[in-house]
Amino acid sequence: MQSRAHEFKQRSATALLDPELKRAMGKAKGGFQQKRRNAVDALPEFEALRQAAREIKEHTLHNLDFYLERYERAVQSAGGQVHWASTTQEAREIILEICRNAGAKRVTKGKSMVGEEMGINEALEQAGFEPVETDLGEYIIQLAKEPPSHIIAPAVHKTKDQITDLFHAHHQKYGLTDRVTEVPAIVNEARTVLREKFLSAEVGITGANFLIAETGSSIIVTNEGNGDLTNTLPRVHIVTAGIEKVVPTLEDVSTILRLLARSATGQEMSVYTTLSTGPKRKEDLDGPGEYHVVLLDNGRSQMLGNEFHEMLRCIRCGACMNHCPVYQSVGGHAYGWVYPGPMGSVLTPLMVGLDKSFDLPNACTLNGRCKEVCPMSIPLPDMLRKLRQRGHEQRLTPFRARAALGLWAYFAKRPRLYQLATRLGMAVLGSLGKRRGRFRRLPFAGGWTDARDLPAPQGVTFQTAFRKRGSQK
């Protein structure tokens, strides 16, 4: 997918003024947070599981080449094929080739963030295939021609009325001419339309929540059952997965599964957790005749060796964005690429370049909620801070900010001068603002005063007050 992360400032400014978005996001937020809270509170072992999950992932990442090779071998011995891709371009070519060989026309898709990374829908369309998203949220945004705005609830930004309009516009061609306005009817209509697509597709593409080295299985976790119809009905099943998705054994995956649904939706288990291992067996009455896995690197091996390697523990649960005040205000689209919220603000710069997404690490209040709720204990705020620093080192920070910081550094390194300057500054501001007690506007501080008043300083500087307290003891 083409990144528009460099437009974060404009896009978030527009998003903040969108009343529909505000309504939709307001509805979602409380639910996600409360449901997670309840699920975590109900499981005394949550912290222990979190610790174990972290160790499993670290162990695997530390021996990633080994586990990928063992995984590959297990897939092959189950009759499946593994394809490796360093770039999204390579991955797209592999998938198109498989679809061509299958003589496909229609390709159903389960939700896949890696699929979004590689922009597989656009590629399939351009090559003359008909890609059909089957997760309800993904289907809605496919009709709206929009990217997902949340990694587990892709249409969270849409209101029911907007969905009614979309269905009315797109479903009349199937003879469904009534406007469906209530949730059950909306879901039913999607079921009817998509059922036909499931049954006629030649290829089904799913993502993978996990790959298991022990058995060569890929796992998908869903609630709707769309992923299962996608990986069972067509002749060919293609799995797309990042190389960091592998875990050693079924026992290891069990540990992480206990964290995933609770962190994402507050469920103990999602409705369907499905392990697919190779193509259908000789004696099977259904299932795909071919099973392919496309393993995508796309910058992950780079991350493995640098200070961001902990990001590879991410299981894409979405908890960090559900608890992020910035995400809650601007929505997922403002982030401009596949991954929004805190995890996106780390991943996007690493995958598409910091120079093209410079504002993302700054779109953070460093309140630390994301790190607190992350089931894989990923230090997101620390990483965002490091990216800010990188940006500064690469001279990506705007000139004004650099100049101001430089000036501050000059004074900060000279304590006497600093004290004198702050005392002087406070005295001047204090007496200027004495009458009203605050400033409506200040030169060079428009960024602050455009949206709110600046209180005029009262009393003495912090340092003077601090010294005074010390001497009172």
Partner 1 sequence: MSAARERVLANIRTALNRTGPLADSVTAVLDARLENPRANVKPAVDGEVVQQFLSKLESVHGAVVRVATMEKVSEAVDAHLQQNALSPELVVAPDPLLEDIPWSNRFAIERRAAKGDDRVSVTAAFAGIAETGTLVLLSGAESPTTLNFLPEDHIVVLKVERIVTHMEDAWARLRKERAKMPRTVNLITGPSKTADVEQTIQEGAHGPRRLRVILVG
Window 38 to 57, contacts with partner 1 (CB under 8 A):
43-45, 48-49, 52, 56
Instruction: Please give the single-letter amino acid code of residue 387.
Output: L
CB of 318 to ligand SF4, least distance (A): 5
CB of 237 to partner 1, least distance (A): 10
The reply on whether position 239 binds partner 1 by CB under 8 A is no
> Residue 5 binds which entry of partner 1, ligand SF4, none, with Cβ cut-offs from 5 to 8 Å by kind?
none
Query: Is residue 344 close enough to count as binding ligand SF4 by CB under 6 A?
Result: no
Please name the amino acid found at residue 73: R
Report in angstroms how near the CB of residue 273 gets to ligand SF4 at its nearest.
17
* Listed ranges 207-215, 370-378, 379-387, 455-463: which one lies at the site for partner 1 (CB under 8 A): 207-215
Q: Which of the residues 164 through 193 are near partner 1 (CB under 8 A)? A: 183-184, 186-188, 190-191
Report the nearest approach of partner 1 to the CB of residue 286 (Å).
4
Q: Which of 10/76 has CB closer to partner 1? A: 76
Minimum distance from residue 337 beta carbon to ligand SF4 (Å): 15
343 binds ligand SF4 (CB under 6 A): yes
Binding positions for ligand SF4, 277-336, rule CB under 6 A: 314-320
What CA–CA distance (Å, rounded) separates 41 from 27?
23
**Minimum distance, C-beta of residue 261 to ligand SF4, in the bound complex (Å):** 12
Selection from ligand SF4, partner 1, none that 215 binds (CB < 5 to 8 A by kind) is partner 1
Q: How far is the CB of 460 from partner 1 (least distance, A)?
A: 51
Q: Is 83 in the site for partner 1 (CB under 8 A)?
A: yes
Residue 66 contact among ligand SF4, partner 1, none, beta carbon within 5 to 8 Å by kind:
partner 1
Could you tell which of ligand SF4, partner 1, none binds residue 315, using a CB distance below 5 to 8 A set by kind?
Answer: ligand SF4
Report the 3 state secondary structure along the chain. CCCCHHHHHHHHHHHHCCHHHHHHHHHHHHHHHHHHHHHHHCCCCHHHHHHHHHHHHHHHHHCHHHHHHHHHHHHHHCCCEEEEECCHHHHHHHHHHHHHHCCCCEEEECCCHHHHHCCHHHHHHHCCCEEEECCHHHHHHHHCCCCCCCCCCCCCCCCHHHHHHHHHHHHHHHCCCCCCCCHHHHHHHHHHHHHHHHHHCCEEEECCCEEECCCCEEEEEECCCHHHHHHHCCCEEEEEEEHHHEECCHHHHHHHHHHHHHHHCCCCCCCEEEEECCCCCCCCCCCCCEEEEEEECCCHHHHHCCCCHHHHHCCCCCHHHHCCHHHHHHCCHHHCCCCCHHHHHHHHHHHHCHHHCCCHHHCCCCCCHHHHHCCCCCCHHHHHHHHHHHHHHCCCCCHHHHHHHHHHHHHHCCHHHHHHHHHHHHHHHHHHCCCCCEECCCCCCHHHHCCCCEECCCCCCHHHHHHHHHHHC
Q: Which partner in partner 1, ligand SF4, none is near 307 (CB below 5 to 8 A by kind)?
A: none
Positions 119 through 138 that interact with partner 1 (CB under 8 A): 134-137
Regarding 86 and contact with partner 1 (CB under 8 A), the answer is yes
Binding segment toward partner 1, per CB under 8 A, in 121-129, 242-250, 340-348, 424-432 = 242-250
The contact pattern for ligand SF4, residues 374-403, with x = CB under 6 A and - = no contact, is xxx-x-x-----------------------
302 scored as a contact of partner 1 (CB under 8 A): yes
Can you give the binding site for ligand SF4, defined by CB under 6 A? Answer: 314-320, 343, 374-376, 378, 380
